[in-house]
Amino acid sequence: MSTAGASADPLAALGALPGVADSVESVRKAVDRVYGHRVMRRRSNAITSEAALRGARGSAALSGADWALEEVRRRTDFSGDDEARAVGAALRLTAEAGQLLSIWRQSPLRVLARLHLVAAADQGDQVGRPRKEGEQVDEPLVGLPLPSATEAHGRLDGLAGLIIAGGSAPALVTAAVVHGELLALRPFTSHNGLVARTAERIVLVGSGLDPKSVCAAEVGHAELGRDAYLEALAGYVAGTSEGVAAWIAHCGRALELGARESMAVCEALQRGAA
């Protein structure tokens, strides 16, 4: 977020970066198309449920568990190997996210701690709190330099302050920054990617951009691919105007693809094929 300078509203300042306004507008149109579909008037709950399942599958894929959708749909036991546990964690986080919307704006750090607790699904002393100095981070698919625990705590507090203060930044910008910061900092000892993508979803829903949670950005992130995801993240971490704008645009494209997926679900339901 260093590109925001000394602005009183640094997240809003990011919205002025080249190309970001175009991404914001494109996302709004894509989301509006989904909400304007006639199926949404009658079966929005079905679209929400399907988007949740597909979003969880996409998030798990980015964490190394790239399962077919039907496999995720049919499984009931996720306690086996690492991939199964990652998918189970993604599904639990998706279910939990909707319960935390009212808390997010008042206490985002509390929400993040809860998300980590849900993802980890155990009671170890490293669960549900930011990591301490010297603790290892299990996030092998993100190879960027790891900030110290002290730096991570400070930046996490700063991010929480921005969320609590509110502001005029578009939902896409805020969601992308929350997502990017959490992946850059990796504040927990594990499951940071899953938590970051769930936090992005909470912002998009809580902001009113996607109040019914029918446009799963995680679907788009997975479709764009892990290499493109990590390349865009590296640009964000570099902190240049171009890098931050490219990350926001990447998150916007992912959300558009998530909206497109839900449009396809709407069409299938309308045809009676799903």
**Looking at domain 10-272, what is its CATH homologous superfamily?**
Fido-like domain (1.10.3290.10)
**Sequence-ordered alpha helix ranges (H) in the chain:** 10-14, 20-35, 38-62, 69-74, 82-97, 101-104, 108-120, 149-165, 171-185, 192-206, 217-224, 226-238, 241-271
pLDDT at 141: 87
- What's the pTM? 0.94
Whether the per-residue pLDDT at 4 is higher than 50: the answer is no
For 237, how many CA atoms within 13 A lie in the half-sphere containing its CB?
Answer: 17
pLDDT at 121: 86
Q: Write the DSSP assignment of 49-93 as a string of letters.
A: HHHHHHHHHHHHHHTT----HHHHHH-----SSHHHHHHHHHHHH
Q: Dmax over Cα atoms in the chain, in whole Å?
A: 56
Band of residue 80 on the pLDDT scale cut at 50, 70, 90: confident
Contacts of 127 (CB under 8 A, 6+ apart): 116, 117, 120, 189
pLDDT at 1: 55
**Rounded mean pLDDT of 13-31?**
95
pLDDT at 272: 81
pLDDT at 72: 95
Average model confidence (pLDDT) across the chain: 94
Q: How distant is the alpha carbon of residue 189 from its chain centre? A: 18
**Rounded mean pLDDT of 242-259?**
98
Q: What is the pLDDT of residues 200-248, one digit of tens each?
A: 999 999 999 999 999 999 999 999 999 999 999 999 999 999 999 999 9
User: Would you tell me how many other CB atoms lie within 10 Å of the CB of residue 28?
Assistant: 16
Q: What is the pLDDT of residues 114-173, one digit of tens each?
A: 999 999 988 688 999 999 999 999 998 898 999 999 999 999 999 999 999 988 999 999
pLDDT at 145: 93
pLDDT at 7: 59
**Residue 100 has which token pair?**
């935390």
Band of residue 274 on the pLDDT scale cut at 50, 70, 90: very low
Domain ranges of the chain: 10-272
